[in-house]
Amino acid sequence: EALCYFSLQPIQIISSTMEMVKPGKLPSGRTEIPFEFPLQMKGNKVLYETYHGVFVNIQYTLRCDMRRSLLAKDLTKTCEFIVHSLSQKGKLLPSPVDFTITPETLQNVKERASLPKFLIRGHLNSTNCVITQPLTGELVVESAEAAVKSIELQLVRVETCG
């Protein structure tokens, strides 16, 4: 079952309500009310991690509504919380990748012959990554005919919908 729909309206996947205090009066002063809300899907459905993308959001919120007397306005507060799955760090097998960049390997270059010759080698320690861990690797400029003014690495996230 896909979570991706081309809709402007959010699709609610789970919803639970719990009455914390029965109608009546709370004593004045501080009142602490502990609570526990288990996150459970019905049947064989899966809970997904929190995700904020360009086209897709998976969001978990907790809303508290406090009803007050007729003369006082009701109070509502909503708070987002982040859901992470258990770390997969121990389960992921490293998948290192070596790469080489030369004028011949560049894409979207019109006049390749006019580029100065260079050789850059690199290594990405793994293409299987835990989201809470940094991407690591190494970049080595082996040779360059012209002076290198700067080197920029760009991490790009791609979302596919449909």
pLDDT tens across 80-134, in order?
888 877 665 567 788 899 999 998 888 888 887 888 999 999 999 988 877 778 8
pLDDT tens across 32-91, in order?
888 888 887 777 777 888 888 877 888 888 888 888 888 888 888 889 888 877 665 567
- Quote the CA–CA distance of 48 and 4 in Å, as a whole number: 13
**For position 27, what pLDDT does the model report?**
80
Domain boundaries, the chain: 1-24+32-85, 97-144
Percent pLDDT > 70 in the chain is 89
- Quote the CA–CA distance of 118 and 135 in Å, as a whole number: 25
Decide if pLDDT at 1 tops 50: no
